[in-house]
Amino acid sequence: MSVSRLFEIVYLLLEKKQITARALAERFEVSVRTIYRDVDALSAAGIPIYASQGRGGGISLTDRFVLDRAALSPEEQARVLTALKSLPGGDSPESRATLTKLSGLFGRREPDWLQVDLTPWGASGGGARRFDELKRAILERRVTTFSYAASYGGASVRRILPARLVFKGRAWYLQGFCLANRDYRTFRLSRILELTVTEERFDLSLSPPAIEAAPLSSSRCTPLRLRFSPLVAYRVYDEFDLSCVKREKDGSLLVAIDFPEDGWLYGYLLSFGTCLEILSPDQVRLQVGLLGRQIWKNCEKPDIRCRVFRATMESPKQKEDSTMERKFCQSCGMPLDDPAFFGTEADGSESRHYCKYCYQGGAFTADMTMDQMIDFCAPILSREHPGMSEEQAKAQMRGFFPKLLRWKDQP
């Protein structure tokens, strides 16, 4: 379906009052059936258009609109222009040119206040082309095939009857009848690869379920209870409905929500790092913990195993004695036993006080408070010492960190 053709149809109707479907088909060199699908698309977008059959019939705007363009109220003009501009693809050069003509017909200049861009940040426009191809497949009722990247890491080839495009939450989805499963399925557009709209047409009447009830994958939904640090409150409010979120007295955020339990879920929860605690269920908590441990193992290097101050395990007297003999990073407490661990000053010289992970080029690598540094280091120390809980690690660090140079003067 050409968005530019939709613009042109509205333009002609405002100018000529009524046109037959056959006349429009000949003008645009498409079938009459395609014109009727265009009428359906315009109606769905909010344009007051209809088609009448029989002698003297044709395509026109509804009777409640005065067809003399001079008699259209400013509100009616704005409604037509806005509905057209909000159509996906309405920002193409061809569509902008026709919209300019339509605005000129009304004798007005529309402010450029609305734009629909289907591509993610940094994309080259492939998402918009995929959207347009699927839109064409739906309106022309064409069998569609594609490779689909599943959440478990594999890919499968799907052959479907496309039914509906839905924007839900933060993403676009395609609903269609899967010919292999003989049932409706929902697919996220960003995971659709190697899309092909075939020449094969279908006549089956499609009625997919509401997307909330449609299976996004074969995984069952699992009720989750999550606690988030206030540091990621912006993400919590961005990504969860307010009805799922409860703020605690200490500022932490409790979220209760159902998600399909699969590889995507584990990766999503890991994206919150140490700012998330999984309260339940136990199997998700355990799986995410195991994955986090594997990530640590994959990323660990010999020169950072001792990043956290191991001396926190020592007695106060041992600490005092060892501190006299050893140097420690005055930010994270890491032992500075090897010159390779030292940070650098602005002139490139070796820092006398800080490790390379906290201090580079004369500046700290992260702007954080002492409590935030403790929150970062405590899980690492706890993993280094299996008998120590994170709370115990934090307690020991709270007694030691205020003596470090970076935190001495912090209120």
User: What is the reported pLDDT for 254?
Assistant: 95
Q: Is the pLDDT of residue 320 over 70?
A: no
- The percentage of the chain sitting over the pLDDT mark of 70, rounded to a whole number, equals 69
* Average pLDDT score over the chain: 76
pTM: 0.39
Lowest mean pLDDT among 215-224, 318-327, 343-352, 362-371: 318-327
The yes-or-no verdict on residue 76 having pLDDT over 80 is no
Q: Report d(CA 353, CA 342) in Å as an integer.
A: 8
- Of residues 167 and 63, more confidence is placed in 167
Residue 277: predicted pLDDT: 94
The pLDDT value recorded for residue 124 is 54
How confident is the model at residue 46, as a pLDDT? 66
Q: Which residue has the tokens 């569609």?
A: 144
Look at residue 91 and tell me whether its pLDDT is greater than 90: no
Of the candidates 390, 367, 391, the residue with the CA atom closest to the CA atom of residue 380: 390
CA angle 323, 328, 330 (to 5 degrees): 115
Task: Give pLDDT, residue 63.
Answer: 56
Of 10-24, 70-84, 107-121, the range with the highest mean pLDDT is 10-24
pLDDT of residue 67: 42
130: β partners: none
**148 within 8 A of 141, measured Cβ to Cβ:** no
Res. 179: pLDDT tops 90? yes
Dihedral of the alpha carbons of 377, 379, 383, 388, in degrees to the nearest 10: 100
Which domains are delineated in the chain? 3-106 (1.10.10.10), 126-201 (2.30.30), 221-299 (3.30.70), 303-403 (no CATH)
**Nearest in space to 118 (alpha carbons), one of 233, 3, 210, 217:** 3
Q: Please, which pLDDT band fits residue 256 given cuts at 50, 70 and 90? A: very high
Q: Is 40 a residue whose pLDDT tops 50?
A: yes
Residue 381: per-residue pLDDT: 77
Q: What is each CA distance from 345 to 254, 313, 337, 349, in whole angstroms? A: 42, 31, 19, 5
Q: What would the two tokens of residue 374 be?
A: 């403790």
If one compares 38 and 141, the residue with the highest pLDDT of the two is: 141
| Residue 373 pLDDT > 70 | yes
Separation of alpha carbons 95 and 116, rounded Å: 13
pLDDT of 177 reads 94
Tell whether the model's pLDDT for residue 196 goes beyond 90: yes
Strands, E, within 6-107: which ranges? 18-19, 49-52, 58-61
Least confident of 21-25, 113-117, 241-245, 385-389: 113-117
The pLDDT tens digits of the residues spanning 204-226 come to 888 888 876 555 544 567 899 99
* Residue 80 vs residue 106, higher pLDDT: 80
Long-range contacts of 66-73 (CB under 8 A, 24+ apart): 67/13, 67/14, 67/17, 69/14, 69/15, 69/105, 69/106, 72/14, 72/106
Residue 119 φ/ψ, nearest 5 degrees: -90, 140
Is residue 11 over pLDDT 60? Answer: yes
Q: Give the model's pLDDT for residue 226.
A: 95
Question: In this predicted model, what pLDDT tens digit does every residue of 102-112 receive, in sequence order?
Answer: 555 554 544 45
Q: Give pLDDT tens digits for 257-297.
A: 988 777 778 888 999 988 999 999 998 998 898 888 888 87
Strand (E) or helix (H) holding 186: strand 183-188
- The winner for highest mean pLDDT among 67-81, 101-115, 221-235, 370-384 is 221-235
Q: Over 50: is that where the pLDDT of 70 sits?
A: no
**Tens digit of each residue's pLDDT (9 = 90 or more) over 377-411:** 888 777 777 777 888 888 888 888 888 888 887 75
Q: Confidence class of residue 307 from pLDDT cuts 50, 70 and 90?
A: very low
Share of the chain above pLDDT 90, in %: 13
